[in-house]
Structure 1
Amino acid sequence: MSETAPATQEALFQFLDDLGIAHSTKRHAPVFTVAESVSLRDEIPGGHTKNLFVKDKKDQFFLLTVEENAVVDLKTVHTLIGAASKVSFGKPEKLMEYLGVIPGSVTAFGAINDRGLNVTFVLDETLMENEIINCHPLSNDATTSIRREDLLRFLEATGHRPLVLKVTA
């Protein structure tokens, strides 16, 4: 297990800056659910995300990043993402170990903490139709907006090869 502390928001923003990736962040009260975050829609344009941290029976981990209101069929999604079996939700301990975040703050930006490349990142095709994607910057008291191409570039810069797949109904 890595003894390295998870990246801070400041480290994340510096990483994006070093890559030449434009980003903007809006601070807000902590939100734990999609329902709680709806009030921010008028203030923050673009596609808003819901993230599902799941694993298969072989302990392969996946982060599914989809549009906030999208439906993912957890009984069949394994056939789309290359999992060895049906998936179940990953434990909070693995979420912290691999992505450096707690439940409620799950985000594709957690890739910055997955130095061991333990997680496969899956971005839903429908979400990626948005020019701007909004994700928590490692905590749920802010939302960071980034262009979809730059989100892909960020993930690749962390050593991940994101899959862009249709995983929603």
Structure 2
Amino acid sequence: MHPALPHGILLKVLTMDIYDLLTSQNITFQRVDHPPVYTCEEANRVTPDLPGARTKNLFVKDRKGKQHFLIVVADHKATDLNQLGEVLNIGKLQLASSERLQKYLGLEPGAVTLLGIVNDPERHVTVVIDEDVWQQDAIQCHPLVNTSTLVIGKAGVEQFLQSTGHTLHITKIPERELAAS
């Protein structure tokens, strides 16, 4: 575990600190700054054609709020939370509130990111990445705010998660069928 991330101490990493943290771990990244974005469509409009998987991140919980998950999927995928709950043997999943997002990941809505896991030293949140995303060489994500996009290679993502003490779970995330128009 990285010395900046001791187990048992609640740590809320600031945006500028995330760059220092990645650099201190020799995790290379490409950074593109842009206006604030709140949807994948907005992000796709304001960012250039970057390498790696364009992602969206869902912060969800089980029905009783005892288990929390950060789900990383391709930005175009409509996730079926009911089927995902079955895949994870959890039962029903639902989006978690903004209060829970702040409590567990120190993030605001619109800035949900894989890197937010750094703010979960107690490992209350399970990271689940869709196997389609994991097949890419790199992943695009926000650096704790929605005004930049980073591209981080898979090895860097693995190293980052290892430094936070989180296990990487890769699975086929079920896709919701969209109604025909």
After TM superposition, the score normalised by the length of structure 1 is 0.92
Match of 1:36 in 2: 42
How many equivalent pairs are there? Answer: 167
Distance 1:21 1:54, change over 3 A: same
Work out which of the residue numbers 63, 68, 73 in structure 2 matches 1:66.
73
Deviation at 1:162, TM superposition (A): 1.6
Match of 2:166 in 1: 160
Matches of 2:174 and 2:23 in 1, distance apart?
32
Match of 2:149 in 1: 143
1:90 aligns with 2:96: yes
The secondary structure found in structure 2 opposite 1:77 is helix
Deviation at 1:81, TM superposition (A): 2.4
Work out which of the residue numbers 9, 24, 41 in structure 1 matches 2:15.
9
Deviation at 1:18, TM superposition (A): 1.6
Matches of 2:46 and 2:158 in 1, distance apart?
24
Is the contact made by 2:134 and 2:154 (CA closer than 8 Å) also made in structure 1?
yes
Amino acid at match of 2:75: E
Is the contact made by 2:34 and 2:47 (CA closer than 8 Å) also made in structure 1?
no
Amino acid at match of 1:25: R
CA radius of gyration, larger in: 2
CA RMSD in angstroms, aligned pairs only: 1.7
Is the contact made by 1:81 and 1:122 (CA closer than 8 Å) also made in structure 2?
no
Matches of 2:89 and 2:168 in 1, distance apart?
13
Runs (4+) of structure 1 exceeding 3 A deviation are 2-5, 40-43
Is the contact made by 2:83 and 2:174 (CA closer than 8 Å) also made in structure 1?
no
Work out which of the residue numbers 85, 89, 99 in structure 2 matches 1:78.
85
Unaligned runs of 5+ in 2: 1-7, 176-181
Amino acid at match of 1:74: L
Match of 2:58 in 1: 52
After TM superposition, the score normalised by the length of structure 2 is 0.86
1:120 aligns with 2:126: yes
Distance 1:24 1:42, change over 3 A: closer
Show CA shifts across 1:54-100 (max 9, x none): 100242000100010012111210122242x2001111111011111
Instruction: Give aligned-pair identity as a percent.
Output: 34
Amino acid at match of 1:142: S
Amino acid at match of 1:7: V
The secondary structure found in structure 1 opposite 2:76 is coil
